[in-house]
């Protein structure tokens, strides 16, 4: 054990006491300068972090019952404002969207997105505006998404065939859904599936899925170093070490992908034609007219966002949807009746059929209401001082919109904790960012740029899974025993993966078996 002389211990105590005193004085001065929203009194140094449980969005939900829909907290050294109502969601995401378009600096952004060169965590400015334009115009345009429909169809057939082969066995649904989503997005973004077990494989699917789970966990954790900067060097929770290790793994994969794509570009020369999103990004990186040059690390940051976002949202949402339906067989039966009536028994659901399936659409909306993939969206940060109803929101305040709470607001939803798709009948509420009571993809300038792709994959997955199979829980497991607990990160998957038994109900040749 290292010996510390008494004078050094006394010096350390004085330093810590001084820091606490200065922080307390700074907080008191800020309280006097601004008329801050209501909230619990913070502790020195840690602020209100002591009130955050394992599921922060639920902790904040409970606090909002006491302090109201606009609430002020301190997360360590930083002020945080929470909006938990439709009015506040509209204020932050639409009315004053530009004011709250920035992102806070975090270790996740620094170490896992090439120092904020991705789409999600990039700071407000010319680079982010350019990134957003690339997504909307180049990567997720209706024309480009339509051109990739054949990929989604082929991978859906593979998913249905694999489930057919697993008939009667207990399977973990998310394993199948993650593989399906990963294959779809890999082929669209990378041009082929680099994650299989054939020649050209650079990482096994199981390992890559674990990497994605780690990415979403580390992107959403309350990292002490982000919140109390003078403790950052200690990495008390070990998160930064894990971030660096994970980033190195992703980087090796993306370097291989870029090298292979560049080799093809050089080989084909003037005859080169972009086949996938990486090709498009590499062409843009060579464009001298871009306002901000897209560097190699920026391309890798884009790739990571596209793969991670495209995989997680659909797999998590489908798992929650099937879980809810298994607890309510009568809703399952209504969906089956609609599918049999509109689609029939001789074919699969196609993307053009979705608008003819209002009950399926209602099930998806209801799932997203109760189980939004990002329950507090991605944090924003105010670029200037702002005011809402006489309350001040100082420049630099971190802003969270708790869509999890909005989805449970009894002034908006009847019996808000009940899974009841019929609540959407006769309502024009959509998930595309214009109806602030339902914001699974966010809204405004920082809305998820790939929401249209994610929605297509979710709709087709749920529709065909319900159309093609009968579902039940494993022997001995009752509906009441099905756990609906969450894990918190940037996304909120089920804590206990859903185990199910499926039985095909269509003609065998439709499964391609």
Instruction: For tokens 């022997």, name the residue.
Output: 475
Question: Residue 125: left if φ>0, alpha if ψ -120 to 50, beta else—which one?
Answer: left
Task: Measure the CA–CA gap between 284 and 278, rounded to whole angstroms.
Answer: 10
Which tokens sit at 342? 């509109």
Task: Measure the CA–CA gap between 500 and 169, rounded to whole angstroms.
Answer: 8
Which tokens sit at 125? 């400015």
Query: Any residues with CB less than 8 A from the CB of 182 and at least 6 apart, and which?
Result: 195, 205, 208, 209, 212, 307, 311
119-153 core/surface letters (b: 16 or more CB in 10 A; e: else): bbbbebeebbebbbebbeeebbeeeebeebeebbe
Which tokens sit at 153? 């169809």
Return the bridge partners of 171, or none: 500
3-state secondary structure of 236: coil
The closest alpha carbon to 348, from 184, 469, 230, 221, belongs to 469
448 has binding-site annotation:
yes
Helices (H) and strands (E) in the chain, counts: 17, 9
The closest alpha carbon to 45, from 81, 75, 13, belongs to 75
SS3 content of the chain, % helix, strand, coil (to 5): 55, 10, 35
Task: Measure the CA–CA gap between 288 and 158, rounded to whole angstroms.
Answer: 41
3-state secondary structure of 83: strand
Angle value at C-alpha 102, between 99 and 103, nearest 5 degrees? 145
Residues of each annotated binding site: 448
Residues of each annotated binding site for heme: 448
């Amino acid at each position: 054990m290292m010996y510390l002389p008494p004078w050094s211990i006394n010096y350390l105590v004085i330093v810590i006491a001084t820091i606490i005193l200065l922080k307390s004085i700074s907080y008191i001065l800020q309280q006097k300068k601004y008329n801050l929203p209501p909230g619990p009194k913070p502790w020195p140094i840690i602020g209100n972090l002591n009130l955050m449980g394992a599921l922060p969005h639920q902790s904040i939900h409970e606090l909002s019952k006491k302090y109201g829909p606009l609430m002020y907290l301190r997360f360590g050294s930083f002020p945080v404002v929470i909006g938990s109502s439709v009015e506040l969601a509209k204020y932050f995401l639409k009315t004053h969207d530009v004011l709250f378009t920035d992102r806070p600096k975090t270790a996740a952004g620094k170490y896992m997105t090439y120092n904020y060169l991705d789409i999600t965590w990039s700071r407000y400015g010319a680079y982010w505006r350019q990134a957003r334009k690339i997504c909307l115009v180049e990567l997720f345009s209706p024309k480009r998404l339509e051109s990739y429909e054949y990929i989604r169809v082929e991978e859906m057939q593979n998913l249905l065939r694999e489930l057919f082969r697993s008939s009667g066995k207990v399977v973990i649904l998310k394993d199948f859904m993650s593989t399906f989503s990963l294959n779809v997005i890999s082929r669209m973004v990378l041009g082929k599936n680099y994650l299989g077990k054939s020649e050209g494989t650079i990482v096994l699917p199981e390992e890559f899925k674990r990497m994605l789970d780690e990415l979403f966990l580390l992107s959403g954790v309350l990292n002490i170093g982000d919140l109390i900067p003078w403790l950052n060097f200690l990495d008390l929770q070990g998160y930064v070490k894990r971030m660096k290790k994970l980033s190195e793994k992703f980087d090796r994969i993306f370097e291989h992908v870029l090298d292979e794509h560049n080799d093809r570009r050089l080989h084909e020369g003037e005859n080169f034609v972009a086949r996938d999103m990486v090709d498009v990004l590499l062409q843009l990186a060579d464009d001298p007219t871009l306002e901000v040059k897209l560097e190699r690390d920026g391309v890798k940051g884009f790739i990571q966002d596209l793969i991670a976002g495209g995989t997680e949202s659909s797999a998590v949402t489908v798992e929650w949807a099937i879980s809810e339906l298994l607890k309510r067989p009568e809703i399952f039966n209504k969906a089956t009746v609609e599918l049999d009536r509109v689609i029939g028994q001789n074919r699969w659901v196609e993307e053009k059929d979705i608008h003819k399936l209002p009950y399926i659409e209602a099930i998806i909306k209801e799932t997203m209401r109760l189980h939004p993939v990002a329950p507090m969206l991605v944090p924003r940060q105010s670029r200037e001082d702002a005011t809402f109803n006489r309350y001040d929101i100082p420049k630099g305040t971190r802003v969270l919109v708790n869509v999890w709470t909005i989805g449970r607001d009894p002034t908006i939803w009847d019996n808000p904790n009940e899974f009841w798709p019929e609540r959407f009948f006769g309502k024009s509420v959509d998930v595309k960012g214009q109806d602030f009571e339902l914001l699974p993809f966010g809204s405004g300038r920082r809305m998820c740029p790939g929401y249209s792709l994610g929605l297509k994959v979710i709709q087709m997955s749920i529709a065909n899974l319900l159309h093609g199979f009968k579902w039940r829980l494993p022997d001995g497991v009752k509906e009441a025993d099905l756990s609906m607990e969450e894990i918190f990160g940037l996304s909120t998957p089920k804590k206990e993966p859903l185990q199910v038994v499926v039985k095909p109900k269509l003609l065998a040749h439709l499964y391609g078996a």
